[in-house]
Chains A and B, each alone.
Chain A
Amino acid sequence: MAMTKDEILKEIQDVLVDALGVDDQEVTPEAKLMADLGAESIDFLDIVFRMEKAFGVKIPREELFPAEALLSSTDFVSGGKLTQKGLDELKKRMPHTDISKFEADPNVNKIGDLFTVDVLVNFVDAKLNS
């Protein structure tokens, strides 16, 4: 079933309000899941399960949140930063995310900032409407 981005955002807001115990006003498109909404690693799985239920699609966790898998490889991380190879891989795995800001300072501690509400909306939009 085709959904508009606004409809997807509304569903994602409901998912995050339930999964993270936040107010719906906090769940803006720009809000960062970890820094702004307080998500921890297990919450990402909770969010994936809830999104699968809400949208009726199968969502492999590493497809939506591929960053953690990248961080365990020395090919992709060096000196606490993502290497060029790591950045290329990240771009490939997160086509629905604008990583240009992160590219300027690819500190692994900032990788969590890439996951915003908007990224979830774009991901679902691509899944449902492509």
Chain B
Amino acid sequence: MRWIWIDKFVEFNSGKNAVAVKNVTMAEEHLHDNFPGFPIMPECLMIEAMAQTAGILVGQARDFKEKVILAKIKKAVFFNYVRPGDTIKLHADIESIAPEAAGTTGKITRDDEIIAEIDLMFSHIDQNLAGKQFPQENFVFTDLFGVVLRSSGIPAPAFGSNR
């Protein structure tokens, strides 16, 4: 299974930008340990949530034909904690997109407050110039991502299995 760190998209402009929402809840077990008595969403998972938001945006721009892999965290700056009960919004913008890769800029907000700024790079790994071969099946976009898109009212093709 995959951990999905976004609950739904509230904005999706193909090839341009997307906004996803994540509700943080005490039912997420990892918050019990991070940290005992002081539950906060780990920063690394905020980066993952942004990677999922921006990665789906980049994938959709090429009809999910490319395998979009997080290749570089260009910037990740955090300004405040995210706690259980918070609703955060992940705003992702495509800055550049080329046959081999894409660059995105992003910010995470809670109401009007900026929680984080996260800029990423994704590789379209089948287009690598070294000519390396990867499995034909698109193992990046599994159907759980399709579920998130479709339940947000955004058309998505039938992806592979949930595993």
Binding site for B on A (CB under 8 A): 19, 41-43, 45-46, 48-49, 52-53, 61-62, 68-69, 71-72
Scan B110-147; emit 1 where CB is below 8 A from any A CB, else 0: 00000000000101000011110000000000000000
Least distance between A94 CB and chain B CB atoms (Å): 15
Q: Knowing A45-B100, A46-B121, A61-B100, say if A68 contacts B129 (CB, 8 Å).
A: yes
Please give the number of chain B residues whose Cβ is less than 8 angstroms from any Cβ of chain A in the complex. 15
Contact call A45/B121, Cβ cutoff below 8 A: yes
| A residues near B98, Cβ cutoff 8 Å | 45, 48-49, 61
Q: Roughly how many angstroms separate A53 CA and B95 CA in the complex, as a whole number? A: 9
Q: Roughly how many angstroms separate A61 CA and B71 CA in the complex, as a whole number? A: 16
B150 within 8 A of A: no
Binding site for A on B (CB under 8 A): 71-72, 74, 95-96, 98, 100-101, 103, 121, 123, 128-131
| B residues near A53, Cβ cutoff 8 Å | 95-96
Contact call A46/B74, Cβ cutoff below 8 A: yes
B103, B128, B130, B131: the one within 8 Å of A49 (CB): B103
Q: Knowing A42-B71, A46-B121, say if A72 contacts B96 (CB, 8 Å).
A: no
| B residues near A42, Cβ cutoff 8 Å | 71-72, 101, 121, 123
Contact call B131/A72, Cβ cutoff below 8 A: yes
**A-B residue pairs, 10 tightest by C-beta:** A68-B129, A49-B96, A72-B131, A42-B71, A45-B101, A49-B103, A42-B72, A69-B129, A46-B121, A68-B130
Q: Roughly how many angstroms separate A46 CA and B74 CA in the complex, as a whole number? A: 9
